[in-house]
């Protein structure tokens, strides 16, 4: 009888656990459901709730240009310029050619307090940056596959054809496609590193006094405002060394900005 009583209790415990787990699964919303919910909140003017819904999607490990676009718009409506710019930048990192993200980002940057003139770059550096960010990693991968197929086709025509002219054209096409394929792979790797990097940040505080050294008691180097973008060059404990586009360097707390 005692053994039966224990088994009965164990069955009750297992039944309760199964019920709880099934309830949790039913209550968990999918990314699509959360996106629709966030869009409904946004349309109704409940921007705080919209932000909460969109951020739940991110917490589940999902991201997309559309999600960052919607989240940036919701933050913009709440007049949280830094968070708005941060999410537009994150969206453009995934989809560099997105016109909606680029347009809204331009509007957001126009509202920032800091108007900094960027140090001039060498033409070759500007050209390379533009080339690398023209397409996403997926876009460059598709181009690489197309060029690779063209290269294989050229080899096939060269080996199978008995016509000298066709062989000559195939050899030239194969040589060019091989060179393009190598260049495309180099660009694709550079694009992946650019997309995976988190060495840029957006200030989220409304105003911040940048320090000369990673010490709260050190002198102020300069003052920056919400929404400014900077490069992150180093980390010391809870501090980050930043560099503005005009060359100014200083230290800020890590919790004062968001990484792109």
Encode the chain (260 residues) as per-residue pLDDT tens digits: 443 434 545 555 555 555 444 444 445 789 999 999 999 999 999 999 999 999 999 999 999 999 999 999 999 999 999 999 999 999 998 888 799 999 999 999 999 999 887 666 677 877 887 888 788 788 899 999 999 999 999 999 999 888 989 999 999 999 999 999 999 999 999 888 876 766 899 999 999 999 999 999 999 999 999 999 999 999 999 999 999 999 999 999 999 999 99
Q: What is the predicted pLDDT for the residue at 198?
A: 62
Q: What is the predicted pLDDT for the residue at 8?
A: 44
Q: What is the predicted pLDDT for the residue at 3?
A: 39
Sign of CA dihedral 156, 159, 160, 161: positive
- What is the rounded CA–CA span in Å between residue 141 and residue 134? 13
The single residue listed with the structure tokens 């199964």 is 18
Give the 3-state DSSP-derived string for 94-144, with helices as H, strands as E and coil as C: HCCCCHHHHHHHHHHHHCCCCCCCCCCCCHHHHHHHHHHCCCCHHHHHHHH
Q: What is the predicted pLDDT for the residue at 20?
A: 47
Instruction: Write out the two tokens for 94.
Output: 């995934």
Q: What is the predicted pLDDT for the residue at 27?
A: 52
Q: How many helices (H) and strands (E) does the chain have?
A: 9, 7
Q: What is the predicted pLDDT for the residue at 125?
A: 77
- What is the rounded CA–CA span in Å between residue 93 and residue 68? 10
Q: What is the predicted pLDDT for the residue at 132?
A: 83
Q: What is the predicted pLDDT for the residue at 128?
A: 84
CB 174 within 8 A of CB 168: no
Q: What is the predicted pLDDT for the residue at 119?
A: 60
Q: What is the predicted pLDDT for the residue at 194?
A: 73
- State in Å, rounded, how far the first CA of the chain is from the last one: 64
Task: Give the C-alpha distances (Å, rounded to integers) separating 135 from 63, 100, 190, 235.
Answer: 18, 16, 11, 31
* Phi and psi torsions of 4, nearest 5°: -65, -40
- What is the rounded CA–CA span in Å between residue 158 and residue 174? 9
Residue 224, phi-psi category: left (phi > 0), alpha (psi -120 to 50), beta (remainder): beta
CB 202 within 8 A of CB 228: yes
């Amino acid at each position: 009888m005692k053994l039966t009583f224990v088994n009965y209790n164990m069955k009750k415990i297992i039944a309760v656990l199964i019920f709880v787990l099934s309830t949790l699964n039913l209550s968990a919303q999918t990314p699509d459901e959360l996106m629709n919910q966030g869009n409904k909140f946004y349309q109704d003017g409940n921007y705080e709730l919209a932000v909460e819904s969109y951020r739940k999607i991110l917490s589940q490990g999902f991201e997309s240009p559309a999600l960052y676009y919607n989240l940036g718009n919701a933050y913009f409506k709440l007049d949280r310029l830094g968070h708005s710019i941060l999410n537009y930048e994150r969206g453009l990192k995934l989809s560099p050619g997105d016109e909606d993200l680029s347009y809204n980002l331009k509007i957001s940057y126009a509202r920032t307090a800091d108007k900094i003139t960027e140090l001039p770059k060498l033409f070759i550096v500007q050209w390379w940056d533009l080339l690398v960010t023209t397409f996403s990693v997926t876009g460059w991968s598709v181009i690489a596959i197309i060029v690779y197929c063209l290269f294989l086709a050229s080899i096939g025509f060269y080996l199978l054809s008995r016509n000298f002219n066709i062989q000559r054209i195939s050899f030239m096409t194969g040589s060019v496609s091989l060179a393009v394929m190598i260049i495309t792979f180099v660009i694709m790797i550079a694009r992946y590193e650019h997309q995976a990097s988190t060495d840029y940040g957006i200030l989220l505080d409304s105003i911040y006094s940048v320090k000369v050294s990673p010490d709260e008691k050190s002198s102020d180097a300069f003052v920056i405002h919400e929404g400014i973008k900077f490069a992150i060059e180093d980390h010391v404990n809870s501090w980050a060394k930043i560099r503005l586009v005009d060359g100014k360097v200083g230290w800020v707390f890590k919790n004062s900005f968001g990484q792109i």
